[in-house]
Structure 1
Amino acid sequence: MEAFARNLLELALASAPWLVLGLLAAGLIRAWLPFALVGRTLGGSGFGAVTRAALIGAPLPLCSCGTLPAAFALRRGGASNAATTSFLVATPETGVDSVALSWVLLGPFYALIRPLAAFVSAVTAGLLVGVAGGSCLSRGAALPVVSPGAACTAGCCAASPPAKGAKGFLSRAWAGVVYAFTELLDDLALWLSLGILGAAAVVTLVPPNLLAQWGSGPVAMMLIMLVSVPMYVCATASTPLAHAMLFAGVSPGTVLVFLLAGPASNLAGIALVRREMGGRALSAYLFGVGGVSLLLGLLLDGVIGVYGLQALFHVGAGGAAGHESPSALAWTSLLLLLVLGAKPLRRYLSGGRGGAGGCCG
């Protein structure tokens, strides 16, 4: 029990400063992204529109269920099915908060390769949907909203738009920061806590490299995809679980499949893509998420096998090797997250408005 508590505290302290940094960046990005203007720049199904959609979606701090209304808001604003799909895949697979956490828990190499792989997956899915075609969502149609207890059975919620009353630079920036440390933190809290608890348990109880013989190859990757679809684990919350998987000996390629396919594929997203874009577009979407994730995972393991890059993915009990936060900063960040996780304070900071409540992924 003492070892578990020590590992849990080390993981929490290592993660906290980077999570705070990621939340700050996520809030500012959300506050200043002009969704109405973005939608008008994403018409057409060519490479340019699909690429722009992936680049716009990649840094955004939205989990997979929160991405759904945002993506179809872009579609209603003029984005094509292809660009909407690219945005729908790129946004939950990565984000500034998950990249920051990846840096400390998985190492700099994953912090780089994760958003690159998400970009490739999103662009491929978008182009495939553009080729497949599908039904169009009318610009005047009602915006699909995922509400607690509805299609998203894990309790996910729709992302609310930025406050319209915040017009000045400082007021909009503050509104974004409030969102990040209220609604977004609330969305992350449950699954992120479970992920860190699970990672600490694995580090404490499982011998290193226990799964090295079984945690690689196409079968393991397909299995991890099937398991991840109903999990509703967002990009940030999946990072501690990926840390535990690497520690247990699961191959970096299989972990990459989990990091890509888990956040981007869920039952609510599949149902809405089928309803709004049609069966052909859904098939292209699923191949763009699952097939490309599998190919990228096999490619990564193959490159590691040829060039011997395994050392780049070494993960110790306390986080990525060589990245230790100053003790005062780590403790301050962790205490800040714990304090701001209290709902009464969140309601006070947001002007009496409750947090989004309990979802991620």
Structure 2
Amino acid sequence: MNQPLTIMLTGGFVRVLQGFAAAAPTLLVGLLIASIMRYYLGDKGTRRLFGGETIRSLPQSWLVGMLLPVCSIGVLPILCEMRRARVKPGAMSAFALSAPLFNPLSLLYGLTLSRPMVIILFAFGSLIIVTALGLFWDAFGGRKEPACDSEPDISDADPTNPDYLIGLRRLAATFVHFARDLTGASLGWTVLALSGLAVLAAVLPFGAMQHSVERDDWLAPLTMMGVAIPVYATPMLAMSQLGMMFQHANSPGAAFTLLILGTGMNLATPVWFGKHYGFKATARWTVSLLVIVLGISYAINQPLIPPGVEPAGHTHAFDIYANPIPVSQGGNTTSLRDLVVKDLDFSVIASLAVLGFFSLAGIGLRLMKIDEAWLVRTAKAHSFVSSLTSEDAKPRKGLDLVVPPGIIGATMLAGLVAMSVVACFAYYPSAEECLDEISMARAECLSAANSGQAEHALYWLPVWEDWSRRMEVGTFIRTGQIRPYQRMQGYLIRKKLELLEHELEHDPFELEETQQVVRNILSTNTRWVRSFRPQD
């Protein structure tokens, strides 16, 4: 199906905006972690965090990546700091691929989407891949002397120097590095990473993948590889897509390919490695990655097919990668705005606001030619650690202590991990809270469907489905289990919501058929709600 040029360009622009909004929280975290590494962990602390020169560097980098809540865009500023600290290239490769795949939020979400063993096997498969590629990279990738991207030499601001900044001046240096990096190299890498979404929107018309990657299609993993290479996907998006793929009996091998290639990397990842370690070595690394992923995908394709699930013949899981604008609709300004803002929640809006503030600060700092080296040159003697041991140093009393930067950095990183765990309980509330939210979404969705307001019902339907997933995760992390009856009722309600979605999208709209589906949903909903409601 051919698309008009205006639809291709407009759809690509919308996808880029959606991708940037989705990346905002994890990009913010990635920039923060990079700043902590530079001014608190230092080179030695960073190398120690990722296993140094020991044999455990690859699995340790994989584990660190699994704990930190970043995406394939947020990992790029961290890679720059790892390279600056002279971390082994193999460990960098392992971290770059594993960090975007899983974090506590997405891992818990994934455990409720399919059989838990499937997600565990996927995680184990990612460990095999990053270990093999890390060994390959250390053997053939070589090393180059690090140099930060288009930034002035600020080695004097390195906290590993004998006389480094302390106190408020070090905090200021962290702020300056964060702001300048956001408006410098990291911005360029982000644009390159998101450009893959624009390419896909131009190549894939609206709904082009609704009948793709079926479980009996032996080309499914290969097809998904072609889509996944330019894709940028957040861990949560990838997990929701995996759940839909298993729900619709799509190819498990294609699901694994999407997870590793679509979530674990983006267009900027191989370009970044190529720039710093040579494109020839990076090409070998990339080809090895594709071969390993395809090999594992075909090996697990049949064994991991969920029992008792018949192929649906269609899916909306990959609509996010195709052009969001139907050819028949055109580029209506209101609908385009709705496409961008409809999925913005509080965390995304807050992250965009913070990124906007730091972007303005970064532009101002660049115009005033203020960088970290300037802070070092203009610092007074008491802003350096050497002032603590000078002859005229005043004794510090009470809580006025100078804590070593390594301890502060480790505490900050541990705090990020702890915050991600706490965020699990905030993002996945208790069943009682979820049922309250579901009640509102259900009322809006079903009343709109009964009255023929298809667009309004289609808005609330995914909200209802999302809260159903979050209720299962919230129940799991609080009770340690999801009873089979609860899991089955959740599966049934989501299957019937899918049927309702099809009726709402049917052209022409058939009110009587839709109302019949609504009645069926209400009967299933009663059993589903009772299964999660606390028993007195």
Q: Report the TM-score when normalising by structure 1.
A: 0.55
Q: How many residues align?
A: 311
Q: Could you say if the C-alpha distance between residues 23 and 305 of structure 1 is closer, same or farther in structure 2, counting changes exceeding 3 Å?
A: same
Identity in percent: 14
Aligned-partner SS, 1:85: helix
Counterpart position of 1:289 = 289
Matched, 1:36 2:43: yes
Conserved 8 A contact 2:126-2:260:
no
Matched, 1:347 2:363: yes
Matched, 1:49 2:65: no
Superposition deviation, residue 87 in structure 1: 1.6
**Structure 2 unaligned spans of 5+:** 1-5, 159-163, 322-340, 372-536
Matched, 1:178 2:183: no
Superposition deviation, residue 70 in structure 1: 4.7
1: CA distance, partners of 2:178 / 2:172: 10
Q: Deviations over 1:212-248 (max 9, x none)?
A: 359964x55457657877x6x76769x79x97xx99x
Matched, 1:22 2:26: yes
Aligned-partner SS, 2:26: helix
Conserved 8 A contact 2:207-2:319:
no
Q: Could you say if the C-alpha distance between residues 194 and 158 of structure 1 is closer, same or farther in structure 2, counting changes exceeding 3 Å?
A: farther
Matched, 1:91 2:96: yes
Q: Could you say if the C-alpha distance between residues 91 and 136 of structure 1 is closer, same or farther in structure 2, counting changes exceeding 3 Å?
A: closer
2: CA distance, partners of 1:261 / 1:13: 18
Q: Could you say if the C-alpha distance between residues 314 and 74 of structure 1 is closer, same or farther in structure 2, counting changes exceeding 3 Å?
A: farther
Conserved 8 A contact 1:7-1:200:
yes
Match of 1:125, as an amino acid? L
Match of 2:183, as an amino acid? T
Matched, 1:211 2:212: yes
Larger Rg: 2
1: CA distance, partners of 2:370 / 2:232: 21
Counterpart position of 2:515 = none
Q: How does 1:49-198 map to 2 (within 5 A)?
A: 49-56=57-64, 59=68, 70=81, 72-75=83-86, 79=87, 83-91=88-96, 94-95=99-100, 118-127=126-135, 133=139, 137=143, 142-143=145-146, 164=158, 167-168=166-167, 170-171=171-172, 174-175=175-176, 177-178=178-179, 181-183=182-184, 184-189=186-191, 191-192=193-194, 195=197, 198=200
2: CA distance, partners of 1:314 / 1:117: 26
Q: Could you say if the C-alpha distance between residues 95 and 44 of structure 1 is closer, same or farther in structure 2, counting changes exceeding 3 Å?
A: same
Conserved 8 A contact 1:27-1:177:
yes
2: CA distance, partners of 1:159 / 1:142: 13
Superposition deviation, residue 136 in structure 1: 6.6
Q: Could you say if the C-alpha distance between residues 210 and 136 of structure 1 is closer, same or farther in structure 2, counting changes exceeding 3 Å?
A: closer
1: CA distance, partners of 2:105 / 2:201: 14
2: CA distance, partners of 1:337 / 1:9: 22
Match of 2:255, as an amino acid? P
**Structure 1 unaligned spans of 5+:** 148-156, 356-361
Query: Larger RCO: Structure 1 or Structure 2 (Cα < 8 Å, ≥ 6 residues apart)?
Result: 1
Q: Could you say if the C-alpha distance between residues 31 and 256 of structure 1 is closer, same or farther in structure 2, counting changes exceeding 3 Å?
A: same
Match of 2:297, as an amino acid? G
- How big is the alpha-carbon RMSD for the aligned residues of Structure 1 and Structure 2? 6.1
2: CA distance, partners of 1:117 / 1:158: 40
Conserved 8 A contact 2:25-2:348:
no
Equivalent of 2:346 in 329, 334, 338? 329
2: CA distance, partners of 1:35 / 1:134: 27
Superposition deviation, residue 20 in structure 1: 3.1
1: CA distance, partners of 2:153 / 2:47: 16
